[in-house]
Structure 1
Amino acid sequence: MINKIAHIFSWVLSPVLIPAYAVFIALWVTTLSMLPAALRWNVVVMVWLITCVLPVLAIYILYKLKVISHPGLNNRKERYIPYVMTTACYIGASWYLHGIHAPHWMWMFMIGGAVAAALSCVVNVWWKISAHGAAMGGLLALLSRIAFYGIAVVDMWPVISLAIILTGILGTSRILLHCHTLMQVVAGVANGFLWVFILT
Structure 2
Amino acid sequence: MPFNLHRFANVISWVISPIVVAPAVYIAVVLLGYGHDVKSLSYLMVLFFSSTVAPVLLISGLKKVGKISDYNIPYREQRFLPLLVLIAVNALGYEFMKQLHPPRILTGILLFNAVNTVFILLITLQWKISIHLFTLSSSVGLLFMQFGAVALWLLLLVPILMWSRIFLKAHNLMQTLVGAIVGFVLMVAELQWWTGL
Q: Same fold (TM over 0.5)?
A: yes
Q: Does 1:198 align with 2:189?
A: yes
User: In the comparison of the two structures, how many residue pairs are matched?
Assistant: 188
Partner of 1:115: 115
- Over residues 108-132 of structure 1, what are the superposed CA-to-partner deviations in whole Å (9 max), with x where a residue is unaligned? 1222222222111111122110011
**Structure 2 residue matching 1:35: 3-state secondary structure:** coil
1:26-85 deviations in Å (ceiling 9; x for gaps): 12333x13336xx53453344222321212212222222222222220111111001112
Correspondence list, 1:18-167, <5 A: 18-30=21-33, 32-35=34-37, 40-147=40-147, 157=150, 159-161=151-153, 163-167=154-158
Distance 2:158 2:90 in 1: 21
Percent of pairs identical after alignment? 23
* Distance change in 2, residues 1:167/1:110 (3 Å): farther
The answer for the alignment partner of 2:195 in structure 1 is none
TM-score, length basis structure 1: 0.83
The match for 2:194 is none
Kindly indicate whether the alpha-carbon contact (under 8 Å) linking 1:142 and 1:197 is maintained by their aligned counterparts in 2: yes
Q: Report deviation, 1:165.
A: 1.6
Please list every run of 5 or more consecutive structure 1 residues that lacks an aligned counterpart in the other structure: 149-155
Alpha-carbon separation, structure 2, partners of 1:131 and 1:43: 24
- The aligned amino acid for 2:8 is I
RMSD after superposition: 2.0
**1:132-162 CA distance string (max 9 Å, x none):** 11111211211221245xxxxxxx51x330x
Runs of 4+ off more than 4 Å: none
Q: Which has the higher contact order (CA 8 A, sep 6+)?
A: 1
Which AA in structure 1 matches 2:152? I
Q: Secondary structure at the match of 2:171?
A: coil
Out of 138, 157, 169, the residue aligned to residue 178 of structure 1 is 169
From 1, 5, 22, the counterpart of 1:2: 5
Residues 1:42 and 1:5: Cα distance change in structure 2 (over 3 Å): farther
